[in-house]
Amino acid sequence: MRRVGNANGVPMDRIFAALGAASGFVAVAAGAFGAHGLKARLAPDLLAAFDTGARYQIYHALALLAVAWAIGRWPGRVALASGWCFVAGTALFSGSLYLLALTGVRSLGAITPVGGVLLLAGWLLLALAAVRGTMR
């Protein structure tokens, strides 16, 4: 059983697969931009922060693809929650690191741990979905 994701009836597994692919695209573009466009412009610590954001974004783009697969296999709220935790966690974790690196505003680093906690929650929920199977 697939869960409907929007008014057009797009299944949630396809939504998370598309989000994972889009996030992977952005992560590769960010990595290339950091390596080629920012290397000479940023201090080493800021470049490292930008690189960490891109690296974690690609990991969690793959995690979203795993969620898409999990939703097809174990449909339910737990797998869906996992996916949304990965989406929000990536936005906050990687996004705050990108902004920190590009603006130099160090207070943005306070947002990063919130994203990290959401990423951790996503992994725990994905494991729970696997152990429990279908939950509604």
Using CB atoms within 10 A of its CB, is residue 27 exposed (0-12), middle (13-18) or buried (19+)?
buried
112, 99 in Cβ contact below 8 A?
no
Helix axes 12-32, 44-73, angle to 10 degrees: 160
Q: How confident is the model at residue 136 (pLDDT cuts 50, 70, 90)?
A: very low
Mean residue pLDDT across the chain: 93
More confident residue, 112 or 10: 112
Give the model confidence (pLDDT) of 81-131 as tens digits: 999 999 999 999 999 999 999 999 999 999 999 999 999 999 999 999 999
pTM: 0.91
CA 21 to chain centre: 11
Give the whole-angstrom CA distance, residue 76 versus residue 37. 42
The full set of domain ranges for the chain reads 12-132
Asked if pLDDT for residue 56 goes beyond 70, the answer is yes
